[in-house]
Amino acid sequence: MTKGTIINIPRRFVKDEWGGTETVITETAHQLKAIGYQLESVTTLALSDNKQESIFGIPVKRFTYSYTRLGLSKKHRLLLDKRGGNMFSLSLFFYLLFSKKTKVFHLHTMGRLGAIARIAARLKGIPYVVSIHGGYLGLPKEQLDDMMQPLKGSFNWGKPFDLLLQSGKVIEGADAVICVGENEREKIAAKYPEKKVVYLPNGVDKQRFSSGNASAFISKYHFTRTDKIILCVSSFTPQKNQETLLRAFAKAHKHSPELKLVLIGVIYDQDYFDLLESLSTELELKQDVRFIINLNFDDPSLANAYAAAALFVLPSLYEPFGIVVLEAWASGTPALCGNVGGLPSFVINGENGLFFDVESVDCLYQKMIDILQDKMLYKHIQSHALKAVETYSWQAISKRLANLYEEIAS
């Protein structure tokens, strides 16, 4: 007997533009299906022309949408689709309103889509939960300004909708709020003291990432056995800060010529990606830096890359959680990252990872050299990371999520 339907509502959901939110929805959906829930994802047609499909066994329904902006160029619309635009969709609202046997709406977005889901939930008399995937209160101003840049020069004709929807009340009206970072949980709990705000970290498929084939990756991408690979898996956008990593790698490579840098990710910002390619040429690293773009999440090369890497580096200026760090841990690859966003919720500096100043090329360079040269430090970080990752199975995370659904729906 089914326990009811959970409808996940992200801004977008496409296989070719995969990110952390898509991973969370898919992995938890598989676990929830196994214990009796029905799952579907309802989203917009952003980055897709396909109104209905199944992605990794999860039904996905997409609806038309608008940014309610006059003068918005095609290029800027695409940037908003990829990086966080505020969408309006009347057809999505009516689908939610007339959905059947729905137990909970699970929002993975706020703004207008979140407000639409809030209204539909209240009219149907069902609860809704909001997952904050980082950035609601903790996103640095510079990152927020960068995300809003595409809106400059356009006119918002949708202000009446904003007044009607009361988008600012999405958190206020939620039956529960999920934060992937303890830092953000504390801030939201302080702002909404009467609200149920819980810390629920992301997880990792340990079996998959612990069984990567290093030899297959080395062979496929024409590395040698003596190469030492530094890996970064992250979308190509200024927030992810691969520029600092490139500059630090250039210094490290002069010190250790056997080092190679592999950057895997989806291109969210073409101008930024072009800048990175130009920089690798300028730094005379064309033969030592490999860009692997648009690698599907289920491609075996992803787990193989982690297995082949000597070191994983996440240079993000802000990171809501950092699933890729868990993936590195599961692979037995030590990770370096910034003390930013949700990362300090699970990374302990000097124990299971190393922090570095994300704005300092010299600091990152020194940290990379330190861990690669100090075998005792390397083994210490590696062993503690392998132990820590055991607590982040998707099965355990999904069980806690199911308990939350039952609590708010009772």
- Side chain identity at residue 51, one-letter code: K
Phi–psi pair at 391, nearest 5 degrees: -85, 0
The DSSP code for 17 is G
Close Cβ partners of 145 (under 8 Å, ≥ 6 residues apart): none
Q: Name the 3-class secondary structure at 376.
A: helix
Q: At 20, list the tokens.
A: 């952390």
Q: Which residue segments constitute the domains of the chain, with CATH numbers given?
A: 5-203+393-409 (3.40.50.2000), 206-391 (3.40.50.2000)
**Contact indicator for 32, 66 with CB cutoff of 8 Å:** no
Question: How many CB atoms neighbour CB 91 within 10 A?
Answer: 14
Task: Provide the pLDDT for residue 228.
Answer: 97
HSE at residue 264, side-chain half, CA atoms within 13 A, is: 23
Reference 112, options 93, 94, 98; nearest CA is: 93
State pTM to two decimals: 0.92
Q: At 373, list the tokens.
A: 């040269």
Question: How many CB atoms neighbour CB 38 within 10 A?
Answer: 17
Task: Provide the pLDDT for residue 161.
Answer: 84
Task: Lay out the sheet containing 289-293: strands in order across.
Answer: 289-293, 259-265, 228-233, 309-314, 335-337, 354-355
CA distance 246 to 175: 44
Radius of gyration of the chain (CA): 21
Task: Provide the pLDDT for residue 142.
Answer: 66
Task: Provide the pLDDT for residue 218.
Answer: 97
**Contact indicator for 41, 58 with CB cutoff of 8 Å:** yes
**Contact indicator for 83, 147 with CB cutoff of 8 Å:** yes
Reference 345, options 182, 226, 151; nearest CA is: 182
Question: How many CB atoms neighbour CB 410 within 10 A?
Answer: 6
Query: Which DSSP helix (H) or strand (E) runs through 70?
Result: strand 69-70
Query: Which DSSP helix (H) or strand (E) runs through 213?
Result: none
Question: How many CB atoms neighbour CB 123 within 10 A?
Answer: 11
What tens-digit pLDDT sequence spans the chain (410 residues)?
A: 689 999 999 999 999 889 899 999 999 999 999 999 999 999 999 999 999 999 999 999 999 999 999 999 998 899 899 877 899 999 999 999 999 999 999 999 999 999 999 999 999 999 999 999 866 665 666 666 666 677 887 888 888 888 889 988 999 999 999 999 888 999 999 999 999 999 999 999 999 999 999 999 999 999 999 999 999 999 999 999 999 999 999 999 998 999 999 999 999 999 999 999 999 999 999 999 999 998 988 999 999 999 999 999 999 999 989 999 999 999 999 999 999 999 999 999 999 999 999 999 999 999 999 999 999 999 999 999 999 999 999 999 999 999 999 999 98
Residue 292 — left, alpha, or beta (φ > 0 → left; ψ -120 to 50 → alpha)? beta
Can you give the length of the chain in residues?
410
Place of tokens 């952003």: 46
Question: How many CB atoms neighbour CB 219 within 10 A?
Answer: 12
**Contact indicator for 97, 123 with CB cutoff of 8 Å:** yes
